[in-house]
Amino acid sequence: MSLLRLIVSLLVAVPCVTCCAGEWPRELKAYHGATPKIDGVIEPDEWSDAMTFEGVHGWTPQFTPTKEARDLSLKGWVKYDHERLHFAFEVTDDVLYGIDIERWLPEKNPKAHELSRDGWPWFGDEMEVLINASNQWLGDDNAKGDGMSWQMVCNLTKSRLGGVGVGGLLEGEPRVSAQAWQTYQSWITTGAMVAAAKPKAQGKGYVIEWSIAFRPCLEVATGTFFAPSDKEVVMGLNIAVGDLDEKAKGEGNFGNFHHEDWFAGEKNKRTNVRQWGRLRMMAKSAKP
């Protein structure tokens, strides 16, 4: 066997250690559009140039499966401008925790509403966005908590800037990492990441609008951040919506959660970066 043929056979036989592109067969496309106002109110035509998507039918349930759209469902939008990525979510939810019902606490963590690393930012009605901007991972690792890969939370009734009772952003996972916690907190306090969460003006549910600065939040390679160009860039993506209702409805689930549905991934593995779907940042010149 020639040396060249030997090298080729070895490359085929040995799997690549560093992987690219989320393996879950689900994706969103983001096109260049106008800058929205992040205020928790979806104005007419504000998101008309964005790509739309729906949930949670076909998503992965972590807890009790959602069977009715009036119980939990959503319409989403995604686009980007010259310096930020933007999401909007209009969530239908028949019972709003801390608004329609009391703010009960789980036995597993009486500190769930502390705005500290002991608290649970995702405890309540909430959305989570997880992005792997570098689009690489090793094995079954989760988000690192930096610009390359992260997991952040927007809760309807608590936030870093407003405290308990005011919706907005909270530091996500990995909460065991002090460095990740500090990074996330700096993104919130400096406005690198901004979100607004408000109950719907009409109907049951709430609206979240979320804006993410390319720098420092979308680091596609060490020291290099996403910038609009004539080339498509693919990132890993996952999205979660959590639904906390009356305590009894979540009996048997972790923390008595009723629903937690995920855009991509298997149950119990949905935070593994390799289990995420894809966010295709389309070329600036592309049209939806």
Tell me the per-residue pLDDT of 36-72, one tens digit each, with 9 for 90 and over.
Answer: 999 999 999 999 999 999 999 999 999 999 999 999 9
Q: Could you write out the DSSP letters of every residue in 179-244?
A: HHHHHHHHHHHHTSEEEEEEE-SSSSEEEEEEEEEHHHH-EEETTEE----SS-EEEEEEEEEEE-
pLDDT in tens, 92-119: 999 999 999 999 999 999 999 999 999 9
Architecture of domain 28-281: Sandwich (2.60)
Question: Residues 201-221: what's their mean pLDDT?
Answer: 97
Q: Which of 13-17, 82-86, 193-197, 278-282 has the lowest mean pLDDT?
A: 13-17
Coil vs helix vs strand at 250: helix
pLDDT over 70 (residue 2): no
- What is the residue-averaged pLDDT of the chain? 93
